[in-house]
Amino acid sequence: MTHLIESIQRESEEGAEDYVAPIDSEGRMRVFIADDSAMSRHLLEATIKKWGYEAVTATDGEQAWDMLQKNDAPRLAILDWMMPGFSGPEVCRMLRAKNREPYTYVLLLTSRDQKEDLIEGMDSGADDYLSKPFDQQELNVRLRAGRRIVELQDELLRVREALRLQATHDSLTGLKNRGMIFDRLCTELTRSKREQTPCGIVILDIDRFKLINDAEGHAAGDAVLRELARRFRENIRPYDAVGRYGGEEFLVLLPGCDLTNTVNQAERLRRLIADKPILHNGVTLCVTASFGATCYAPSMTPEQLVQIADEALYRAKNGGRNRVEAQAPGIVLPESMIQTAF
Ligand SMILES: [Mg+2]
């Protein structure tokens, strides 16, 4: 589970929005209160604090809108209907138009009690409403209903994220799996094409991995894979990517690196493995890997580039292992031209 959590952290470092739990470390849920009346605001604040909620307040509609758009905004909001700047329903409508996740549960607070007003308020996307002056017990019950929805959605988001990670990451190492790293390769190559920037591609294969499994057991083999994954993670740049491409094979993407830089980076990774043996249950395992490096070329498909890196890797294996071999991508003629050429 630890490596999956590390993956979640890493994914969020890679640009996903930071996850903010709806409940603080002391189990209190934060509730957003927007009301232009200081008396009403203070009364609401004092009341909900009594029930163990933490209050975050705004004094008008504009401030409410600014604060609710923040990443760490409370998920449960009580919005007064009539406020300067934006009204409660206006804030709610803008919030729903953004359609962002996680969901903000909105309770509209209104002194209006005519039915048509209510319909307008609920039409703006509010989840519930409360008439002013509010009844304490009614507020309590409605906040509890909101809290249940927020917690339920939080749980759903966590499960969905866990499933997404399971589907895209290797469960042993926590690295991207084959499908995911290949997708990333396609994305990086598209970027290289658009921005006319280089991109390094490295395939590495642990040398004589079968011997480790046979001599020390599969647990030792697993420990080696996990340790190498850890070393890779800690030693690549934030915008690089590494994935487990096969059993003991890894694919590393180095955006911005031409072939020379790619070879230098591959050499650095090679030393990172070879220079420090792995200790497993008191046994010292001397592990090395062979590397094949190439780089982006506009005429090449992702599959062709992987193939070229693979060919370089085979040369590294045949040349004695524990080394880096590079191959510049050549020009591949379209199939139609090949047919006429021969
Ligand atoms: Mg008001």
- Residue 93: CATH number of its domain: 3.40.50.2300
> Is 172 a member of any domain?
no
Percent of the chain whose predicted confidence (pLDDT) is above 70: 90
pLDDT confidence of residue 112: 67
Q: Which residues are catalytic?
A: 248
Residue 120 near residue 40, CB atoms below 8 Å: no
pLDDT digits (tens, 9 = 90+) for 223-273: 999 999 999 999 999 999 999 999 999 999 999 999 999 999 999 999 999
Distance of CA 129 from the midpoint of ligand 1 (Å) = 14
- Cβ-contact 255, 188 below 8 angstroms: yes
Last residue of a domain, one of 139, 167, 195: 167
Q: Of 167, 189, 211, which closes a domain?
A: 167
* 255, part of any domain: yes
Q: Is 321:290 a contact under the CB 8 Å cutoff? A: yes
Amino acid at 126: A
Whether residues 304 and 217 share a domain: the answer is yes
Residues 199 and 322 reside in one and the same domain:
yes
Question: What is the rounded average pLDDT for all residues in the chain?
Answer: 89
pLDDT of residue 291: 98
Q: How far is the CA of 101 from the centre of ligand 1 (A)?
A: 28
Same domain? 79 vs 56 = yes
Place of tokens 């005519």: 114
Amino acid at 164: R
> Could you tell me if residue 280 is inside a domain?
yes
For residue 194, being part of any structural domain is answered with yes
Longest dimension (CA), the chain: 88
Number of domains in the chain: 2
Q: Residue 103 Cα, ligand 1 centroid: separation in angstroms?
A: 24
DSSP string, 172-186: TT-SB-HHHHHHHHH
Residue 187 within any structural domain of the chain: yes
* β-sheet bridge partners, residue 108: 79, 129
What pLDDT is recorded for position 342?
33
- Does residue 152 sit in helix, strand or coil? helix
The candidate with the shortest Cα–Cα distance to 147, out of 288, 51, 285, is: 51
Q: Is residue 173 part of a domain?
A: no
Same domain, yes or no, for 190 and 328?
A: yes
User: Which pLDDT does position 103 carry in this prediction?
Assistant: 92
Please tell me the distance from the alpha carbon of residue 177 to that of residue 83, in angstroms, as a whole number: 51
| Shared domain check, 196 and 153 | no
The answer on 157 and 185 residing in a single domain is: no
Tell me: pLDDT of 340 over 70: no
> Domain of 203: which CATH number?
3.30.70.270
Angle, CA 316 vertex, CA 311 and CA 319 arms, to 5°: 120
In this prediction, residue 332 carries a pLDDT of 53
pLDDT value of position 117: 79
CB half-sphere exposure, 287, CA atoms < 13 A: 32
> Can you give the pLDDT at residue 134?
86
- What digits encode the pLDDT tens for the residues 38-91? 999 999 999 999 999 999 999 999 999 999 999 899 999 999 999 999 999 999
- Give the Å distance between the CA of 31 and the centre of ligand 1: 18
Reported as a pLDDT band with limits 50, 70 and 90, residue 120 is confident
Q: Assess whether 145 and 87 both reside in one domain.
A: yes
Residue 286 is assigned to a structural domain of this protein = yes
Domain final residue, candidates 107, 142, 167: 167
Q: Sheet of 30-34: strands edge to edge?
A: 54-58, 30-34, 76-80, 105-110, 128-131
pLDDT, tens digit, 9 for 90 and up, residues 275-286: 999 999 999 999
On whether the CB atoms of residues 200 and 259 are closer than 8 A, the answer is yes
The CA 221 to ligand 1 mean position distance, Å, reads 66
Query: Ligand 1 centroid to 35 CA: how many Å?
Result: 6
Per-residue confidence (pLDDT) for residue 12, from 0 to 100: 43
Instruction: Say if 261 falls within a structural domain.
Output: yes
Region 88-101: what's the mean pLDDT?
A: 92
With CA atoms as reference, report the closest residue to 313 among 177, 176, 201, 225: 201
Same domain, 197 and 322: yes
Burial class (CB in 10 A: 0-12, 13-18, 19+), 261: middle
Please check the confidence at residue 26 and state whether its pLDDT lies above 80.
no
Q: Check whether residue 159 and residue 273 sit in a common domain.
A: no
**C-alpha 196 to ligand 1 mean position (Å):** 55
CA of 124 to the centre of ligand 1 (A): 17
146 and 278 in a single domain? The answer is no
> 6 and 27: one domain?
yes
Host domain of residue 9: 2-167
78 - beta bridge partners?
33, 107
Contacts of residue 132, defined as CB under 8 A and 6 or more positions apart, other chains included, come to 40, 109, 110, 111
With a pLDDT cut of 90, the percent of the chain lying above it is 79
Angle between the 88-98 and 61-68 helix axes, to the nearest 10 degrees? 20
319 plus 193 within the same structural domain = yes
